[in-house]
Structure 1
């Protein structure tokens, strides 16, 4: 399994490239790799916690900090939807040049539907799939995954929000094809994680066909 790596450090803020299959914090399942334990063992940073969440199946940029004060400050930015987030996704079928998906999503914890908005633009189209740049304007759980599936363009490798019709996608890499590419904080700081190697490899294969 791929290992995380440290993209940047800004005082008490650690910017990590999370591989797919890793969780952000320790769980009761000791077999799961997590970023908090990795940051302590690989870089000697004790007491860190994630500033925000990222699905286990998704790769990309994650912020961690050992400072409770800093986590609270940055956490408010995420909660207030002031952080600009950009993802990359490979989805089934041909997509339009650009589209806004505006459909409320049910929140089980709050027991009600909440406003959810996702924008995307198509970067490339292949025979059976499309490569997208995606911006979630709100921060609902599994928002991108749900919205794209509802729009008829489930993410390649999706096991929970599955496509209505499967299409053959050459070079399938055995994981959810969703990558957290970029975070921009309200103060102008920008952090980016390059596309995971296995995803980049599949893109190059698709371009060669």
Structure 2
């Protein structure tokens, strides 16, 4: 790969749907023989072979846009750009669908098992990178998020200039979100129920728990249909805590079907795509802060008893 012309305000191009990460090279009392040596020590959680491969593949640039190699010198108080890649990545055999698009937003129907953004063992097999590859929009950014296990409607910002307006809309709770979930049928539950609980971080760190104190999460629940064992519930959260609906349903004694965290953590094989969590972000309603139009988007996916 040839070097790019020197650019004082260099912005790395998107590659295969992946935006480059920016890293500040700190000053150190240690004398590094090369940038490669510094990166291997500073990011010890990344194997040296991975840094070597990134250099060999031309995936590391300096701030002028010059491609660096394993022998490039360590220069403190500057920054570099590099691209994430995974040598082996599990393919997620389910696909997203774009429901709506205008100049500012993209509305997408997300499948189960697809992580929102690059993290851990997923880069290409994430909703964000798939959409960047499909649309070619480098600035595409999620306005809100869904768990990997959850399917349904999610919004993306296409332009940095208007992103904050939509993010503020969520922060101000000017969005109505309607979820569907399948869980055990409990005939003792009221047809319409309001759940008010205080939730905080749990153990392990990636879970949440109910604690005593003033409620900081609120959900409206009603039963849509049921048979003798299972019910389809409509859930309307008015707050947006992590795992809120999953924790609320578990607290009622009716955990969502196939939930791998609540009430008991069960780590499935990452290549096991059976038994998806029966939670779907079914609808989202809001007045667009730019167009002033009433928007109502609905997932084409359906949960059945």
After superposition, where does 1:1-209 map in structure 2 within 5 Å?
Answer: 1-30=93-122, 33-94=125-186, 95-107=189-201, 115-162=216-263, 174-187=275-288, 188-196=294-302, 199=303, 203=304, 206=305
Question: Residue deviations 1:101-150, cap 9 Å, x none?
Answer: 111111579xx976111011100011211101110011111111101100
By relative contact order (CA 8 Å, sep 6+), the higher-ranking structure is 1
- 2:87 match: none
Q: Which runs of 4+ in 1 moved over 3 A?
A: none
**1:127, 1:10 → 2: CA distance?**
44
1:32 Cα deviation after fit: 6.6
1:102–1:30 distance in 2 versus 1, CA, 3 Å: closer
Gaps of 5+ in 2: 1-92, 206-210, 265-273, 289-293
98-107 vs 81-90, which deviates more? 98-107
Gaps of 5+ in 1: 164-172
1:32–1:130 distance in 2 versus 1, CA, 3 Å: farther
- More helix by proportion, 1 or 2? 1
